[in-house]
């Protein structure tokens, strides 16, 4: 009996111990017990990937958070049942309390987009801050308070490499900071739009999503949350009605004002400023033909405006002359057939009268956009302008062309007469050299004309040249091949012919050339009476020759690279093609200006050779002028003197034979 009693007592004791242990296990740890470990700032953990994280909890920060005083540690860390706990607690899910926010976030762009490490683009703590210190949105210290939203979003969206890795653009943060909204927020405004006002909060969607507030068709409603009066006016306009009918070509707020770069209309850099409205903003739609082809909206509205007095004054910098908005309105743009439109015939007196006081219907009844090159125009003003244009264009060509032809005949006759009267001459260029020069001249000018026409296809000289991009490029390549061939021939000429070797020898630079250049400047400025003496070629002619050699080689190399850009890009790198394009373009500008300023002076504008140096045509130069300019070229001068003596002797013999015998 005693043994049985002892067994029952032992069993009862074990049962009590187990009950006590179970009760202790069910009791959740208090916050003080958690902080006994987690208040240690050195406490860390390492995950399976070797990444270290801090387990430190700031009790003071937690106390003043939006959760402080409402929740305890184990309310969020529900799997923690003892202190200390043996296993690492599971990651806390905010969805248990914030189900609506989590549901919206699950469909957002942030949830689907991934960072380079594979994690979601942004989670709760990325925006709301440390989970133990979450502050209400109304707290100025909260990262999601109105004033702090741009900086919070900018932590990710302002990182260049992060945004590029996810297909985004970090420039939007800088653009917003400089916008009218960004500056207002920086100045303390609590009503100016921040990121969440336009993009939403938890359910941020891509712009191509139909439910996104920044989808094109939702933009008017999004902007209208702040600009309600403007929205009401816009929705009644022709643009607003077109958007409401699903026309994606119709402009919404961001098409005119910009997206993140929105600036005040008074800002000169704003897309809706007076100086940019007609030349940039309205041009994007109303100058092309797409609206005309698809919706029968008249085109060429900007070009006809620019041709008018208003447009010319605007291009000249006037800030008071009428622009598109001055006549058509801003947000209330309506077709002229609408009685409410500012350009309805019944309202034109008032519209034009804003600037032109006292106007009547007799002044305003005709079209403003006069397109004489367009289709059939019905109003009398346009027809009158077109008839006048048709009359004057042939008249100008006939009169000025006749003047040019008349003067060309006179110039040619007088120039040749002066050439014949120049007296004894010396050979300056051989026939071979003249042909080389002629090929160089022809190919160079074809290259200049076609090259710049290809670079600037809308320029006046491209239009004057005519043809098209295909034929211009073909002519450009043919001229380039001729120039290269001429250069290769010249190399053989100076290497294997006597005249060529002499030419190269006489063109080699010497230290004397530097002193000659300095002495020439001093002489012609009047600081010395001693004029430098030159050999067969002076310093200017030598500089031009070697510049031609260098320029031809460089243009041939870069031109060939551009012709074979695919092969070059595959062999070297794509940026070599870009570099070759830049060198080819700027070297072309340098060469063209050098010919016009340097070579043309020596050939045409030098008073001593006017109207031109004829050596390019017949290779000869007046002996007297040559002796003055190239006094040290004794070889050529000796040949000229010998030729003059021979001519004089022949003349004397002829005279003696013709004279009568003496008695």
Has residue 639 been placed in a domain?
yes
**Digit-coded pLDDT (tens) for 422-469:** 778 888 899 999 999 999 999 999 999 999 988 888 777 777 777 778
Among 214, 240, 274, the domain boundary falls at: 214
> From CA 341, how far away is CA 351, in angstroms rounded?
10
Has residue 494 been placed in a domain?
yes
Q: What CATH number does the domain containing 527 carry?
A: 1.20.950.20
Has residue 593 been placed in a domain?
yes
**Per-residue pLDDT at 381:** 66
Would strands 44-46 and 52-54 be described as parallel, antiparallel, or unpaired? antiparallel
pLDDT at 11 over 70: no
Quick one: average pLDDT of 203-229?
92
**Digit-coded pLDDT (tens) for 254-280:** 999 999 999 998 898 898 988 888 888
Q: Which of 198, 201, 168, 194 lies closest to 180 in space, CA to CA?
A: 194
**Digit-coded pLDDT (tens) for 537-595:** 999 999 999 999 999 999 999 999 999 888 888 888 888 988 999 999 999 999 999 99
Has residue 64 been placed in a domain?
no
How many structural domains comprise the chain?
2
| Structural domain boundaries enclosing 108 | 97-214
The burial of 423, by beta-carbon neighbours within 10 Å (0-12 exposed, 13-18 middle, 19 or more buried), is given as: exposed
- Determine if the peptide bond prior to 92 is cis (ω within 30°): no
pLDDT at 154 over 80: yes
Among 214, 246, 279, the domain boundary falls at: 214
Has residue 635 been placed in a domain?
yes
Has residue 321 been placed in a domain?
no
> From CA 509, how far away is CA 538, in angstroms rounded?
9
**Greatest mean pLDDT among 23-32, 464-473, 654-663:** 464-473
pLDDT band at 318 (very low <50, low <70, confident <90, very high): confident
Q: What percent of the chain has pLDDT over 70?
A: 89
Contacts of 576 (CB under 8 A, 6+ apart): 561, 568, 569
> From CA 215, how far away is CA 221, in angstroms rounded?
10
**Per-residue pLDDT at 663:** 42
How distant is the alpha carbon of residue 432 from its chain centre? 47
Tell me the angle at which helices 498-507 and 431-455 cross, rounded to the nearest 10 degrees. 60
**Per-residue pLDDT at 494:** 94
**Per-residue pLDDT at 24:** 47
Has residue 15 been placed in a domain?
no
Q: Which of 49, 47, 209 lies closest to 113 in space, CA to CA?
A: 209
Per-residue DSSP letter, 44: E
**Greatest mean pLDDT among 81-90, 191-200, 361-370, 411-420:** 191-200
Comparing 145-154, 569-578, 644-653, which segment has the lowest mean pLDDT?
644-653
pLDDT band at 223 (very low <50, low <70, confident <90, very high): very high
pLDDT band at 373 (very low <50, low <70, confident <90, very high): low
Would strands 620-622 and 425-427 be described as parallel, antiparallel, or unpaired? antiparallel
**Per-residue pLDDT at 43:** 73
Quick one: average pLDDT of 206-234?
93
Among 214, 247, 279, the domain boundary falls at: 214
Which tokens in the block code for residue 587?
């070297």
Specify the pTM. Answer: 0.60
Length of the chain: 663
**Per-residue pLDDT at 23:** 47
**Digit-coded pLDDT (tens) for 25-65:** 456 777 777 877 877 667 777 766 667 767 777 777 777 78
**Per-residue pLDDT at 151:** 92
Quick one: average pLDDT of 285-296?
77
Has residue 262 been placed in a domain?
no
Helix (H, G, I), strand (E, B) or coil at 322: coil
Quick one: average pLDDT of 470-476?
89
């Amino acid at each position: 009996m005693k043994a049985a009693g002892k067994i029952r007592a032992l069993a009862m004791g074990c049962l009590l111990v187990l009950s006590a242990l179970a009760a202790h296990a069910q009791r959740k740890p208090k916050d003080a017990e958690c902080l006994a470990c987690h208040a240690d700032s050195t406490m860390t953990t390492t995950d399976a990937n070797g990444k270290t994280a801090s387990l430190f909890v700031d009790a003071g920060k937690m106390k003043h958070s939006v959760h402080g005083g409402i929740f305890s540690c184990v309310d969020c860390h529900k799997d923690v049942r003892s202190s200390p706990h043996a296993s690492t607690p599971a990651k806390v899910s905010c969805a248990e309390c914030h189900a609506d926010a989590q549901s919206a976030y699950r469909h957002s762009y942030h949830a689907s987009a991934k960072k380079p490490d594979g994690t979601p683009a942004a989670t709760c703590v990325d925006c709301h801050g440390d989970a133990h210190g979450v502050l209400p949105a109304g707290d100025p210290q909260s990262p999601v308070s109105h004033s702090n939203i741009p900086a919070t979003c900018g932590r990710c969206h302002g990182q260049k490499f992060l945004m590029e890795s996810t297909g985004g653009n970090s420039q939007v943060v800088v653009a917003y900071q400089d916008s009218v909204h960004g500056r207002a927020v920086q100045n303390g405004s609590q009503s100016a739009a921040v990121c969440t006002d336009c993009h939403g909060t938890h359910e941020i969607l891509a712009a191509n999503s139909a439910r996104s507030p920044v989808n094109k068709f939702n933009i008017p409603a999004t902007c209208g949350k702040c600009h309600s009066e403007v929205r009401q006016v816009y929705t009644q306009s022709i643009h607003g009605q077109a958007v409401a009918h699903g026309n994606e070509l119709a402009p919404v707020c961001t098409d005119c004002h910009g997206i993140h770069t929105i600036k005040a209309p008074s800002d000169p850099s704003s897309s809706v400023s007076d100086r940019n409205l007609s030349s940039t903003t309205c041009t994007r739609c109303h100058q092309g033909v797409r609206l005309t082809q698809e919706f029968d909206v008249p085109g060429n509205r900007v070009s006809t405006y620019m041709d008018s007095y208003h447009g010319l004054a605007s291009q000249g910098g006037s800030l008071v002359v009428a622009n598109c908005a001055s006549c058509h309105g801003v947000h209330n743009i309506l077709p002229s057939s609408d009685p409410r439109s500012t350009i309805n015939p019944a309202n034109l007196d008032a519209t034009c009268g804003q600037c032109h006081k006292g106007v009547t219907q007799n002044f305003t009844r005709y079209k403003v956009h006069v397109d004489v090159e367009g289709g059939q125009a019905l109003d009398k003003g346009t027809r009158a302008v077109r008839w006048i244009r048709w009359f004057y264009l042939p008249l100008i060509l006939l009169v000025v062309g006749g003047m040019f032809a008349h003067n060309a005949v006179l110039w040619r006759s007088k120039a040749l007469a002066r050439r014949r009267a120049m007296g004894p001459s010396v050979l300056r260029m051989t026939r071979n050299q003249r042909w080389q020069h002629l090929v160089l001249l022809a190919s160079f000018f074809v290259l200049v004309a076609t090259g710049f026409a290809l670079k600037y296809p809308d320029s006046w000289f491209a239009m004057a040249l005519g043809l098209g991009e295909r034929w211009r490029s073909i002519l450009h390549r043919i001229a380039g091949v001729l120039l290269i061939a001429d250069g290769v021939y010249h190399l053989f000429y100076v290497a294997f012919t006597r005249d060529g070797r002499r030419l190269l020898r006489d063109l080699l630079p010497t230290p004397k050339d530097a002193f000659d250049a300095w002495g020439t400047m001093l002489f012609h400025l009047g600081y010395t009476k001693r004029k430098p003496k030159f050999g067969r070629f002076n310093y200017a002619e030598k500089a031009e020759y070697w510049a031609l050699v260098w320029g031809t080689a460089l243009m041939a190399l870069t031109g060939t690279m551009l012709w074979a850009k695919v092969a070059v890009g595959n062999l070297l790198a794509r940026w070599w093609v870009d570099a070759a394009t830049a060198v080819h373009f700027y070297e072309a500008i340098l060469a063209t200006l050098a010919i016009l300023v340097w070579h043309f002076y020596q050939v045409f504008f030098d008073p001593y050779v006017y109207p031109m140096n004829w050596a390019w045509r017949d290779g000869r130069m007046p002996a007297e002028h040559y002796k003055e300019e190239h006094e040290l070229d004794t070889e050529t001068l000796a040949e000229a003197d010998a030729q003059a003596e021979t001519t004089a002797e022949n003349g004397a013999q002829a005279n003696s034979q013709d004279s009568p015998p003496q008695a």
